[in-house]
Amino acid sequence: MNYKNIEDKLKEMLPEKRLKHSRSVSQCAVKLSKIYDCDIEKAKIAGLIHDCAKYFNDEQVEYSIKKFNIKLDPLEENNLALSHSIIGSYIIKDVFNIEEEDIINAVKYHTTGRENMTLLEKIIYMADLIEDGRKFPLVDELRELTYGGKLDEALLLSFNNTIKYVIERNQLIHPRTVSARNYLLKEIQ
C-alpha cells in the first residue's frame, strides 16, 4: 500500500485529531531521516501508521490478540495506551500488507522504546513526541536535541522524563523503558 491508500484506510480507524497527529509524525520522521540518513520512505509510512490500533474497541483488541496469538505482558494487558503499539505491529502486516521488519518494529516499540533500538525505531519514537502539534514542558528542548543531531541524547532525556513522570504519579513503569534508558546511558557514556 502506498501513503494515500494507507491514509484512506486510517480514516476509517482513527478520529481526525489522531489522523492529523499521524500525518505530522510522518512528516517529522521524514525530516529526521534526512538528518540521520535513514530510509525516507520507511520513515514516512511508519510515522503515518504507528497509531493505527490506538482506537480499537475491546472486541477488536480481543479479536486481534486471538487471531495473531499476541502475548501481552501484565502491564500491557487491558492497557491500550501501551498495547496499541504491540497490536498495531500485527495490524500493519495484516491490514496494510506491510512486511518490512524495520517498520513493524518501529511501530511495535514506539511507546516504550527498548534496548538497542534501530535508527528507524529511534526516529519514530522521537517524531511521535516532537511533531509540530505536540505541546508539553520539555518539547522545545527535545526538538532542539533531535533536530540538532543529538538523537540519542534526546531519547535519553525523554526516557528519563517518562520515568520521573510515572514515579511522581506512583504509576507502573514498563521495564522496556528502563532497559532502553539504561542501554542508552551506557552507550552515551
Buried b (16+ CB within 10 A) or exposed e, 26-64: bbbbbbbbeeeebbeebbbbbbbbbbbbbebeeeebeeb
Query: Residues 6 or more apart from 27 whose CB is under 8 A from it?
Result: 47, 131, 132
Per CB under 5 A, contacts with Fe ion among 111-170 are 128
Q: Which stretch binds Fe ion (CB under 5 A): 47-55, 58-66, 71-79, 115-123?
A: 47-55
Report how far residue 103's alpha carbon sits from residue 108's, in angstroms, rounded to the nearest whole number: 9
For position 51 contacting Fe ion by CB under 5 A, the verdict is yes
Task: Answer whether 88's CB lies under 8 Å from 74's CB.
Answer: no
Residues 6+ apart with CB under 8 A from 125: 106, 109, 110, 113, 117, 155, 158
Contacting range for Fe ion; rule: CB under 5 A; set: 6-14, 49-57, 145-153, 173-181: 49-57
What is the total count of residues that contact Fe ion (CB under 5 A)?
A: 2
**The three three-digit cell numbers of residue 116, written as one number:** 538497542
C-beta closer to Fe ion: residue 136 or 185: 136
Of residues 106 and 185, the one with the C-beta less far from Fe ion? 106
Residue 18 CB, nearest approach to Fe ion (Å): 8
Smallest separation (angstroms) from Fe ion to the CB of 60: 16
Closer residue to Fe ion in complex, CB, 15/149: 15
Q: Measured from the CB of residue 130, what is the shortest distance to Fe ion in angstroms?
A: 11
In the block, cell 509524525 appears at: 25
Q: Which is nearer to Fe ion, 102 or 128 (CB)?
A: 128
Minimal distance, residue 131 CB to Fe ion, in Å? 8
Nearer to Fe ion, 133 or 149 (CB): 133
HSE, side-chain direction, 13 A CA sphere, residue 82: 16
CB of 95 to Fe ion, least distance (A): 16
Binding site for Fe ion (CB under 5 A): 51, 128
